[in-house]
């Protein structure tokens, strides 16, 4: 997501890459994120069903992308 943002400078497209995580939050782990996922579609979750570092990395990425977007003068709201 951050690599996409750096290459294409498109925060909306980078944020769209987080959409599958929203579905995961609603269907697995009751509001948490699994430790790992399969590398091939359909990307089944594996390992611990609620992993703090997975949540932290998604939040860090979301924050960085939205800060970039706000810095560019465009708001998400």
At 41-71, the pLDDT tens digits run: 888 999 998 999 998 999 999 999 999 888 7
When the pLDDT of each residue in the chain is averaged and rounded to a whole number, the result is: 86
pTM: 0.73
The ranges assigned to domains in the chain are 2-70
Percentage, residues of the chain above pLDDT 90: 43
- Mean pLDDT is highest, among 18-32, 33-47, 62-76, for 33-47
* 34 in Cβ contact with 47 (< 8 Å): yes
Please report which confidence band the pLDDT of residue 31 belongs to, taking 50, 70 and 90 as the band edges. Answer: confident
65: burial class by Cβ within 10 Å (0-12, 13-18, 19+)? buried
* 61 in Cβ contact with 18 (< 8 Å): yes
10-44 b/e (C-beta count within 10 Å ≥ 16 → b):
ebeebbeeeeebeebeeeebeebbbbebeeeeeee
Higher pLDDT, 72 or 42: 42
């Amino acid at each position: 997501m951050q690599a996409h943002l750096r290459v294409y400078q498109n925060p909306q497209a980078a944020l769209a890459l987080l959409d599958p995580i929203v579905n995961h939050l609603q269907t697995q782990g009751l509001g948490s994120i699994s430790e790992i996922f399969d590398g091939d579609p359909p990307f089944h979750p594996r390992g611990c069903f609620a992993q703090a570092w997975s949540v932290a990395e998604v939040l860090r990425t979301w924050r960085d992308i939205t800060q970039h977007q706000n810095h560019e003068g465009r708001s998400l709201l």
